Structure 1
Amino acid sequence: MMKIRNKLLLSFGTVLLIVLLAFLIVYSTLQDVSKSYFNLANTDLKKLQLAHQIQFEDLALTDAVRGVIIEPDNTAEREKYNQFAKQIDQHIKEVTPMLDDSRTKKIFHDLNINNQKLVELETQMMELAGEDRQKTLAIFHGEYADIRAIFSSKLEEFKQIETERITKKIAEDEKLIRKKIMAGAAVFITALFAGILIAIFISKRTTRPLWKIANKLEELARNKGDLTARIHITNKDEIGKLAAAFNRMLENLQKMMLKIKETTDEVSASALELSEGTKNFAESTEQITMAVQDIASGAGDQGDMADESSHAVNNIANEVQKIASTSSFAAESALTTSKIAEEGNKSIVKAVNQMEFLQKSVDEAFIKIEELGKLTDEIKKISDVMANIAEQTNLLALNAAIEAARAGEQGKGFAVVATEVRNLAEESKQSAIQINEMIQHVLSIAAAAVENIDKGRSDLKEGKRVVDDAGRAFHKILTSVEKVTCQIQEVSSSVQQMSTGADQVAVSIGQLADIAKKSSAHSQNVAASTEEQLAAIEEFTATAENLSNVAKKLRNMIGEFNV
């Protein structure tokens, strides 16, 4: 059996894991792209940049050689030549370890050989410049120009290969990014729909059973309702426990009402029998009074009248004994009803406690959903950081494109790379914005879930109030049953007193038969005693009528329920 709190934690934990999975996919993509661009910048772009520098240095070197040929004594041009010659050698050596395929290795091998040839020819031309200008120009425009053309073509071929390789890597990275972004978006959309479905499911599973219980309690609070009906809820959580406890309360209340109804019928019947018995007893007492008066007027007939009176008193004693038995049974039934009422009251208290426990669980779930909203805010901040990184990358790519444009023809390849990086940064920024929008939507869904649960909390409070009202109504029934029990016990006590009085009258009449001669002197005392007995009987009759009225009221109260 899973509690509501655990269900909420499991459901929203699942959604959170899916969201984190989407974030990890995007983060992994950015890491892969970052690593790829790092390698691109430190290897491929660097090789391309060095190739451009070698090309520029070759032009500067040729220009320095031309200056020496024109002015053999120009030391500035010679120093310029020496500087660029060293740089070309250094850059060729720097590029060579970076090469990872046979084609580019062969190209740079040929470049190195041609560079050595060019250095030899350049040294020869600078030595002949002051001695034989014609021969120097012939070398410059002949063999030297041919080797430079081969050197330039090899360098252009290398630049083209590296540019194509960089373009291919960028295309592959773009394809990977799109694939990962689509996967992350799919996972994120799945999390979004899962969150919506979970919110709807939990809302329905929580509020519908509570409404059923609240409506039933409202019926009971109005002292109306069908006690034979049961609430059918299949939940295995606290709501299921509450429904089961509520059904047990209805069952106990139904049994108690049936027992009260039976007891009320028995009390009503006993009251009728008691009323009839008191009437007979009153008639007998009147007959005794008349007999005593006859004894006072004529002692001669006193013996016969005493026998008749003794017989009548014995009959009265028997009737009173029957009434006493009936009253005792009614008192026992009333006590049993009182115990059942107490058990029903305990069930009401247990239902109230269960409602309080359920309210506590819903409050805890409310707190957890708020924590989920805070965690989603943190994810949103991370997405904002990703968008800022993409914006910075876009600016860097723009600056690189500007620098490439300034470089002219030598910066074309680098400009292509900068443009691709800029496009990729823009796509990354758009993806971050989409993720931010999705997170914002999740926040709105979480807010709706908070609102639904808060509404459930209000409904739960209303249900608790209705349970309290039912408890108070049930307490009134318990109080009425206790009053009936007390009145029945009073009636039973009065009947016992009547039985004792009847026995005393029988003894007195027996003595009256033995002392017939003294009956005239004691007849006035007996008449007075019978008058007092008659007054007691009238009070007893009033008590029996009051008991009958109470039984009718209790029967009408029970009639409000369908048992």
Structure 2
Amino acid sequence: MNFFNQMKLQWKLVSAFGLILLVTIGSMTFTITRLISLASQVDITGKLIEKYGQRSDTLYYAVQWGYPALREGQSITTYIMSDDPDEQSSLFEKFGKAGKEFKRINKLVKESATTPDELKRIEKLEALEKKFQAEAINIITIRDGEGEYGPETREEVNNFNKVESEFIKAIEEFVEFEKNYMEENQQESNAVISTVNAAASKAITITIFISFLAIVIGVLISLVLARVISKPIHAVVALAKKIAAGDLTQKAEVLSSDEMGEMAQSFNDMIERLGGMVKNIQEASTKISTISDQTAVAATELNSGAESIESASSSIEEMNSAIGEIARGTSDLTKQASDASSSIIEIVASIEDIADISEGLSSTVDQSSSSITEMASSISEITGHASQLSLYATETASSVSQIDATIREVENSIKISAELSEANASDAEAGGETVKMTIQSMEKIQETVQNTAMAIKILGEKSLAIGDIINLIVEIAEEINLLSLNASIIAAQSGEHGKGFAIVASHIKQLSKKTKGYTTEIGGLIKPVQIEVAKAVESMESGASNVEEGVKLSRLAGEALDKMLLSAKSTMDMLEHISRASTEQLRGSKQANESMEKTTQMLTQVYKAIEKQNMGNEYITKATEEMKDAARQVKDTTKKQSQEGEKVQLTIEEITGVTRIIDKATQEQAKGSTQLLKAMEETKSITAGNMSTVKDMKKFAEVLGNQVEALEKAVSTFKVSS
């Protein structure tokens, strides 16, 4: 911790950032390692799935490999049992195609094989397939010219059957081997996939935990670093506030050697220097205070001697200035008196003009008052007419509302009639549709009955044909029985080589007996069916005639309903016309009602506006009367002002004469005071130098005293350590 405190601030930040970076890199490295491991396991799973796909292809081709072998074996068996030597060429052609198919499948199986065991089994199958082909070709080619096999060829046939059995058995073993291998591969793949899923979920959980842990560590490091940096800053801020308040006795605590420690040490140095400066200022202010007191005493003594001279000089100067001011005042008064006389003359003339204008104004106000009175009376008449018009409009609106209600009742009645007629029409239309549907159903029933009758007739004919076929099958079964008997005889003559053929012949004989028995039973079942079919044909023909009569009756009912529907539609059309007319009439009445309501509202607004205008006219009438009174007062006042103006003019003329006399006397007095002032100026010049010096000293002492007091107040706020 001591080493950390000795570090610089920038290196503290770098170390904290490096620690967070190391935690982040460690978590990322662990996450990447887990992801790489997971990817390798996923790759293994993909390879297993690919291997499983190849195995499924091998199994598919191996199953296809057995088809041509079985077909060739069946073809050879058929060829051996047949007596036709011409099948040899077609059989060679079939075997050529089968050989090509063997080669194609063999190539595909080899390409899909993945293990040495599979390749060995495929090589074994190739050898058996070649041997099978050779034995088959040998069987085909050893038949003699008469198309029969001799006794010496029985061994080749047995060899062929043996090779065929081995080849098919080898194919079945190969298919079973591939199935077992695929099952094992499937189990292994499932185990690997479950392992990969578990590893993936575990890796995700660990990654989330490590990321969360890295975030927590980063936050803790940031908080610790912020505390380390902010703690000394807060301490310095608190110290600065105390210094600003004047407390120089505090010291900053130096906890480290970084920038924060240097700043704390700088604050301590600054506090010491400020304390020394404050002490020096206090001592200097004390000395200056004593000097200013001495200077004030000396200035007071000098000032007392100069004041006596100054008082006499000032008295004479004041007297001279007063005389001069009196002289100037009298001359100005003379000028002002003459100016006032001319102004009074102009005022009197303007007052006379105002009197003339006020007389005209009075007459104009009288005329305006009479006009306003007439206008007020006409507005009162308009108000009465507007109120009557509003009443008429209200009555008209109520009448229109009654008409509107009557039209609505008519419209409702028409709507009810229209709904009833529409219901009747819809019922008639529904009945017509029902009759039409009944006719269509009857026609369909008729058609169905006819089709059924035809089908039953055809069924009767087919049943007769089936009887013929059964007889034919019985004959064929008897012939097959004879052939099987001949085959049994031939097999008995052949000895051991004909045992298999004898077994086949006995099976064929049993089948022919069963076929004959079944056909006899079928014939017994078909005869009653033929009888019932004949009866059904007769009943269907009678039903078809009844259906035709029902169709005719349904058509007559449909025509009657169509006539009813036409009459109902015509009635409904008439009601619709009446309803439209009543609707249009209702719209017109609504519009009239709305227009009357709007007219009533407008008349109400006009009536209110006229009432307001009437009130305004009353105010205007009162105002015009007041204007008449004011005009009369103005007229009387202007007359009085004109008379007083003439009196003022006479008084001003008398004042002008008196001021002229005073002006002459003051001018003579001013000359004497000027001579006295010159004598006093010489005395004043002697004391002027001393007086100015004393004033400067006094002012300097006062300023110095004020500054000392301010300095003492400022210094007294600081607390300095002793």
Q: TM-score range, shorter-chain basis?
A: 0.3 to 0.5
Q: Please give the TM-score of this superposition, normalised by the length of structure 1.
A: 0.44
Q: Please give the TM-score of this superposition, normalised by the length of structure 2.
A: 0.35
Structure number with greater Rg is 2
